[in-house]
Structure 1
Amino acid sequence: MACKDDWQVAGRRKGASRRIKQHKTDSRQVSECQVDKQRIINAMNELRGEDFWLQWRNVLSEHLASSASVSSKKNEDVSLKDCVSYGLGNFASCISARYQLAMLLLLLETLHEGKRAVCQPTLFYLMHCGKALYNNMLWKNWSPQTLPKIVIIGNSFHGIQERMIQREFVRDYCCLSNVIGVCEETSLPCSQRFLDVFNDTALIQFPPENLNRLADCTWTETSEPLYQHCTDLEIILREKHC
Structure 2
Amino acid sequence: MACNDDWQVAGRRKGAARRGKQASNLKQDSHQVSDCKPDKQKIINATNELRGEGFWMEWKDLLSERLLPGSSEQNGKVSPQHCVCYGLGHFASCASARYQLAMLLLLLETLQIPAGRCSVYDPVFSESEREALEELGFTVLTENEEGKRGVYHPTLFYLMHCGKALYNNLLWRNWTPQTLPKIIIIGNSFHGIQERMLQREFERDYSFLSNIVSACDETPLPCSPRFLDVFNDTALVRFPLENLNKLPECTWADPSEPLYQHCQDLEIIQKEKRS
TM-score tier by shorter-chain length is 0.5 to 0.7
Structure 2 equivalent of residue 45 of structure 1: 31
Structure 1 equivalent of residue 57 of structure 2: none
Q: What SS does the corresponding residue of 2:235 show, helix, strand or coil?
A: strand
Give the distance between the partners of 2:28 and 2:158, measured in 1 at CA: 22
| Deviation for aligned residue 1:217 | 1.4
Q: What SS does the corresponding residue of 1:194 show, helix, strand or coil?
A: helix
Structure 1 equivalent of residue 208 of structure 2: 175
RMSD: 3.5
Which of 233, 241, 245 is the matching residue for 1:212?
245
Structure 1 equivalent of residue 234 of structure 2: 201
In the superposition, the TM-score normalised over structure 1's length comes to 0.58
Which structure dedicates a bigger proportion of its chain to helix? 1
Give the distance between the partners of 1:166 and 1:109, measured in 2 at CA: 36
Query: Is the 1:43–1:102 contact (alpha carbons within 8 Å) kept by the matching residues of 2?
Result: no
Give the distance between the partners of 2:29 and 2:195, measured in 1 at CA: 31
| Deviation for aligned residue 1:193 | 1.0
Query: Is the 1:141–1:147 contact (alpha carbons within 8 Å) kept by the matching residues of 2?
Result: yes
The one-letter amino acid paired with 1:166 is: Q
Q: Does residue 1:151 correspond to 2:184, yes or no?
A: yes
The one-letter amino acid paired with 2:217 is: E
The alignment-based identity, stated in percent, is: 61
| Higher RCO (CA-CA < 8 Å; seq separation 6+) | 2
Give the distance between the partners of 2:162 and 2:226, measured in 1 at CA: 21
Q: What SS does the corresponding residue of 1:112 show, helix, strand or coil?
A: coil
Q: What SS does the corresponding residue of 1:134 show, helix, strand or coil?
A: helix
Q: Does residue 1:115 correspond to 2:148, yes or no?
A: yes
Query: Is the 1:43–1:99 contact (alpha carbons within 8 Å) kept by the matching residues of 2?
Result: no
Structure 2 equivalent of residue 128 of structure 1: 161
Query: Is the 2:151–2:174 contact (alpha carbons within 8 Å) kept by the matching residues of 1?
Result: yes
Residues 132 and 43 of structure 1: CA distance in aligned 2, closer, same or farther (over 3 Å): closer
Aligned residues: 162
What runs of 5+ residues in structure 2 fail to find an aligned partner?
11-22, 34-83, 85-90, 95-124, 132-139
Give the distance between the partners of 2:201 and 2:249, measured in 1 at CA: 23
Give the distance between the partners of 2:142 and 2:228, measured in 1 at CA: 26
Query: Is the 2:92–2:129 contact (alpha carbons within 8 Å) kept by the matching residues of 1?
Result: no
